[in-house]
């Protein structure tokens, strides 16, 4: 089980004027972008370890400024920074992590192959297996945390969020592996 980061702040973040002011700052925007990128990089490292453990090809990662998708064989994990309010500041957004069964959109976008025109497509839509939306909190750059159950709950560091995402990816991978039945002689 992943431990929680301590929250030495007030339980209701709306009462903390310094937190509200910091999360609305330009500095907080750049720190948020850095933390979202960090979570994506750590998830890719964890997915690479999982690929080696399960003898799978290395994961395919598609990072961008505010999102990252990691495809690991038959499962994937997507991270996205979502703007929830009108302002483009961390206090008006959430980090959304979803573990998927199936293949998310490929880099090429199209799977059309003229030489296989007569073969029926067997594309199956990805199915979400786990989902977590997390809200940021911070009063300074050094106490950045993500809160899954609202700001009244203890938060997680970016490293802990990445570890939770890799654990969800591992669970998704184990859920799609066929059950091995041992037949006695």
CA triple 98-79-144, angle to 5 deg: 115
Domain assignment present for 118: no
Domain assignment present for 182: no
CA triple 123-81-168, angle to 5 deg: 55
Model confidence over 41-83: pLDDT tens digits?
999 999 999 999 999 999 999 988 889 999 999 999 999 999 8
pLDDT on residue 171: 96
Q: Residue 76 sits in which domain range?
A: 15-104+125-176
Domain assignment present for 111: no
Model confidence over 125-139: pLDDT tens digits?
899 999 999 999 988
Residue 174 scores a pLDDT above 60: yes
Round to whole Å and give the CA distance between 151 and 9.
10
Domain assignment present for 3: no
Round to whole Å and give the CA distance between 172 and 170.
5
Do 88 and 28 form a contact (C-beta atoms < 8 A)?
A: no
Q: What is the mean pLDDT of the chain?
A: 81
Average pLDDT value for residue range 6-11: 42
pLDDT on residue 17: 60
Q: Reduce the DSSP state of residue 176 to 3 states and report it.
A: helix
Model confidence over 134-161: pLDDT tens digits?
999 988 888 899 998 776 677 899 999 9
Domain assignment present for 115: no
Q: Reduce the DSSP state of residue 113 to 3 states and report it.
A: coil
Q: Give the chain's domain count.
A: 1
Pull the structure tokens for residue 105.
């959109």
């Amino acid at each position: 089980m992943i431990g929680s980061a301590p929250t030495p702040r007030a339980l209701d973040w709306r009462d903390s004027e310094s937190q509200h002011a910091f999360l609305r700052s330009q500095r907080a925007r750049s720190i948020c972008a850095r933390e979202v990128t960090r979570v994506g990089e750590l998830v890719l490292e964890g997915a690479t370890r999982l690929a080696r453990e399960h003898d799978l090809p290395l994961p395919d990662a598609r990072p961008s400024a505010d999102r990252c998708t990691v495809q690991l064989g038959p499962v994937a994990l997507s991270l996205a920074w979502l703007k929830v309010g009108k302002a483009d500041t961390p206090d008006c957004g959430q980090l959304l992590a979803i573990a998927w069964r199936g293949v998310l959109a490929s880099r090429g976008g199209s799977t059309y192959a003229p030489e296989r025109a007569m073969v029926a497509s067997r594309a199956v839509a990805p199915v979400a297996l786990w989902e977590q939306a997390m809200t940021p909190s911070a009063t300074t750059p050094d106490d950045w945390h993500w809160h899954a159950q609202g700001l009244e709950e203890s938060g997680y560091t970016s490293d802990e969020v990445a570890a939770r995402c890799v654990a969800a990816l591992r669970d998704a991978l184990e859920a799609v592996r066929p059950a091995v039945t041992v037949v006695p002689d």
